[in-house]
Amino acid sequence: SRAYPTTAYAPPPSLLRSRRPVTAITALRRGFASALASLAEVSVAPVASASRSPRTIGLGAFAPTKMASSVMTRAAAALAPTPRGATVRATVNHRGAAASAMRGVRCSNAAAPTPASGASGASRRRSLYCKAIAAPVSPAELQAPANLHGFQLLREEYVAEYDAKVFLFKHEKTGAEVMSLSNDDENKTFGVTFRTPPANSTGIPHILEHSVLCGSRKYNIKEPFVELIKGSLNTFLNAMTYPDRTCYPVASCNLQDFKNLVDVYLDAVFHPNCMTNEKTFLQEGWHYELDAADAEMTFKGVVFNEMKGVYSSPESVLARECQQALFPDNTYGVDSGGDPRNIPDLGFAEFKDFHGKFYHPSNARLWFYGDDDVEERLSTLNAFLSEFDRKEVDSVITTQPFFTEPKRVMASYVAGEGEESQKSFVQVNWLLSDAPFDTETALAVGFLDNLLLGSPAAPLRMALEESGLGESMVGFGLEDELRQPTFAIGLKGVSTEDIPKVEKLIFDTLASIAEEGFTQAAIDSSVNTIEFSLRENNTGRFPRGLSLMLRSLAAWLYDGDPIEPLRYEQPLAHLKERMASGDVFRPLLKRLLIDNKHKVTVELNPDKALGKVQDDEEKARIAAYRAGLSPEDIEKVVADTEELKRLQETPDSPEALACVPSLDISDIPRESKSIPCDISTMGATQLLTHDIVTSDILYAEHLMDLHSVPMDLMPLVPLWCRAMQRMGTSKRNFVDFDQTMGATTGGFSLSPFTSSIRGETDVAAYLVLRGKSTADQAGEMHDLMAEMMLESKLDDREVFRQLVLESRSGMESRVQGGGHSVAAGRLDAMDSVAGYVDELMGGLAQLEYLKVLTKRIDTDWDGVVGDLERIRAAVVSRQNSVTNLTADAKTLDASSAAVSSFLDALPAHGTGVATEPWSPSLVLPSVNELITVPTQVNYVGKGANLYRGGYELHGSAYVINKLLGTTWLWDRVRVSGGAYGGFSDFDSHSGMFTYLSYRDPNLLKTVANYDGTVDYLKGLKLEQSELTKAIVGTMGDLDSYQLPDSKGYTSLMRHLLKVGDEERQQRREEVLGTTEKDFHAFGEALEATRAPEAKVCAVTSPEAAAKAVTERPDLDFKVTSVM
């Protein structure tokens, strides 16, 4: 998708490809996001590592359980931390490594969300002032407008679950359908979705999704989308390609900004320039690149390189094989994102035909949500739709016929040389239905999924994870966002001889459950977990309106009722009645899984030679093409390459850019927002309370001082956190504890975080116990927290072994699929103590530690248990503790006794605590490093500390960093270089400035582009309109929309990092007052990034590393082989 859904409900990553990486604002822009987290109304999503720095801290890191994955239940959930150390994705799948199970949603570009901006001249400026809507008494009483602007009203209903009036309209001239939801949510959402079923794996829908936002009839510039990123107040801006649809959603709390976004997107999808400008297709899709007649010819293209990165991940290969094996006869049997082997088969004519066929109002489903005016919605749409006539569009997603017998598929993935890489994946997959589930069935299947896999205590998950047959789970259960729902489960890291054992274990466990049923305690836990999530409706920074749109589309897209999926009260009540009168789940389990013949087992085996085979095939294809070219043809390819790069690197004129609507600086409030915060003490604990309406939910964070843990034990802390939640307590076994927690709370979690504090040698380092419950459950939640912290068992060797294997597997996946975050972590660890500690707990150093720990479990188990107990004895105490509570005053008052009781139960002081302060010299050796893994792409980082060079923080740094990601780095690393993402990151707490690229075909060329940033800034001439856009866009980040729990957590971060309201106001004024001279001055400061002290760290292939070592001996690269 084109922007970063940073938290809460997002499409399951297995379904998604987008115009900008969803892999996460956290890893891509950690420091910048960190600064905003402390300065602004924003907090940031969690990272994959066990550590949680404020630049990577989660908004919803509560539920240690896996949520039911159905659209109904998932869409309401908050983002949980990855419980098994898996690669992080912006998704609400609480299973941890959901990213590895993705079934195909593609997203598209690499910068943070921000939309409409920059016109030059008052004539294009649009004031914030808008005509007020005559407010009805309530949404329930809202009437349809008298003037329907060419639409027919099909239905109107009130949806009490979201206090929303729903109108379903159909455009009379074209047949386009519109869902219009009105309530008091200021975070307005719009989306247009087309059914786009591909017939092959050339990636047409994905390339088109990238391309339509590269200029349109009304916005005739290279990339209006980038201009929107630069300078709007949007709360969401992206585009997503699923296996069968393409979605273009936007959101903003500012009415005029919202209107601007809607206008740009509608013009883009219906009148894109890419239909006549083949250069866009070549840039975003693929082309032959040849810099000189005697140079090497290569394939290049943003989507081509993105998908090479996707196909470098074994988990992604597994997901593709499973989907295509389950759906051999319909559109899901091909890859809508594109297979790198097939993408070069796509021609421009076929590309254009696809748009002409599917991007038509008659094939469109349009969505509005929020507090804007219904009649204006219809008027806006009609202005675009009325240009078209009704057209018959054959876009129906055909049903996959059911198999009469199970099937088996064997495939291979590119493996490394190490012995540890020679492990297989095995996954069993079922097709569950020939149509989407109705709401009650969806809830029932969601409950069943949760009962089977929803927490570490769920029987199917527990059987697999404690079997010792593999390293971690794959598949992760129910997926019901496509035409036909599926269920999948399996293991990775399996020895070849154990593959039949895994299958047998799955089938035997399901049979046992079907025979014995689920305990009432398990059912109560599942019901409370899902019901809590539905009623809380905590979508983090992901707009609630977009969450509902995606839920509605799960039926609407397949000609079902778009309103039914939004209701859950009546289906839930009826399901509860059925559950009270009989066994709902055993018959369901038997029908959907045990007796289901449409079952495919996929075996994915390692192949050390496959990478070379694929590389040789690609080179042979290019060589065959080149061999057929005359010298004149060769010169034409060189000229075409030069011409494309010239166009890519030539900016639009200020006059052309003026077409994009924008706000003005005068539209931005000068005063920063404040969050209610009362600071007091409760005994020895510092207490922060935030009186905010939370619908009777208490959000609690209890922080304990991580400095107390001896440094030699620090790498063990993430596993200690997991072990504390997985072995039961002295009072009850693990299953009982987990089910009690699920039945009585909204969940809680335990994790560490660290951060530098600007201007101090001290480091903010805490263990964070984070949970949520209703007001009347606060006592039970805190009793369970105390039981876990004080009485958890830590001596189950086999459970601990599995935790280590899962963590190690997740870290290996992260290095291979999210190498930019690994590279950034290494650079941070060379620079600061906080970075070093983060590296120990969640970086490459953690992976190396896990490899050693795996062996130590067998040779020194008593020593391991002793170390785990030493951590508890040191860190679990009230010394230097902080408690943070967010709720309304009544809930805070009612919860006070429970909180006090919990704190009183903790020891006053730890034992065996570290006595030495953390020395500033506690960093990794400063080297240029190449980390090698099996991959077809690179993740390139380079960084240096600006504070050490004398730079003093100024608010303009945030504006400059944002502009770099949408100008120089975007153009050179992504557009011209072909990487999926290129960006910079300034951690204002430590002073570390880092360049990063994502799924990058280049290595040293990207480093050269980083070094060119200095001269770019020094010589930059900015039109006032461009500067205004950058400022407005930065303010959109600072004033980002937040739900109540996020506000309380943001306030906590500010407190810990010592960022007061006075400083926040100062930075705000500096942002608003940014000038061109600030850019030039920052260019001088960035000289540090190309000085000898600056270091390069990249995750790359062994072949690319060897080439870089040869070409740049002056960098004296250290090569570290990981896999």
Positions marked active-site: 209, 284
Cα-Cα-Cα-Cα torsion 368, 374, 377, 381, nearest 10 degrees, comes to 100
Q: Which of 978, 1010, 1015 is nearest to 994 (CA)?
A: 1010
**Distance spanning both ends of the chain, measured CA to CA:** 29
What's the DSSP call for residue 938? B
Phi, psi angle pair for 940, to nearest 5°: -115, 125
Amino acid at 763: V
Q: CA-to-CA distance for 118 and 639, rounded, in angstroms?
A: 33
Which tokens hold the place of 719?
């596993």
Which tokens hold the place of 420?
């540890």
Which tokens hold the place of 511?
């049979």
Question: Mind giving me the DSSP string for 297-342?
Answer: PEEE-HHHHHHHHHTTSHHHHHHHHHHHHH-TTSGGGS-TT--TTT
Place of tokens 């309406």: 693
Amino acid at 255: L
Q: Which of 322, 394, 70, 351 is nearest to 206 (CA)?
A: 351
The strand pairing partners of 61, in sequence order, are none
Q: How far is CA 1015 from CA 70, 767, 1011, 1084, in A?
A: 51, 43, 8, 9
3-state secondary structure of 219: coil
**Strand order across the beta sheet in which 1118-1121 lies:** 981-987, 992-998, 939-945, 1095-1100, 929-932, 1118-1121
Angle between helices 30-39 and 1044-1056 (to 10 degrees): 100
Q: CA-to-CA distance for 1069 and 307, rounded, in angstroms?
A: 42
Phi, psi angle pair for 531, to nearest 5°: -65, -40
Phi, psi angle pair for 377, to nearest 5°: -60, -50
Helix (H), strand (E) at residue 12: none
Q: Which of 1039, 1046, 1089 is nearest to 1064 (CA)?
A: 1039
Q: Tell me whether strands 298-300 and 287-289 are parallel, antiparallel or unpaired.
A: antiparallel
Burial letters for 318-340: b for 16+ Cβ neighbours within 10 Å, e otherwise?
bbbbbbbbbbeebbbbbbbbbbb
Asked whether 533 and 67 are in contact (CB, 8 A), the reply is: yes
Q: What angle do CA 850, 985, 1017 make, to 5 degrees?
A: 150
Q: How far is CA 604 from CA 13, 495, 887, in A?
A: 20, 11, 48
3-state secondary structure of 387: coil
What's the DSSP call for residue 619? H
Helix (H), strand (E) at residue 874: helix 861-875
H helices then E strands: how many in the chain? 38, 29
- Beta-sheet strands, E only, within 905-980: 929-932, 939-945
Amino acid at 949: G
Q: CA-to-CA distance for 436 and 481, rounded, in angstroms?
A: 8
The number of angstroms, rounded, from the C-alpha of 750 to the middle of its chain's C-alpha atoms is 21
Q: CA-to-CA distance for 672 and 679, rounded, in angstroms?
A: 20
Q: Which of 634, 616, 614 is nearest to 626 (CA)?
A: 634
Neighbours of 165 (CB within 10 A): 21
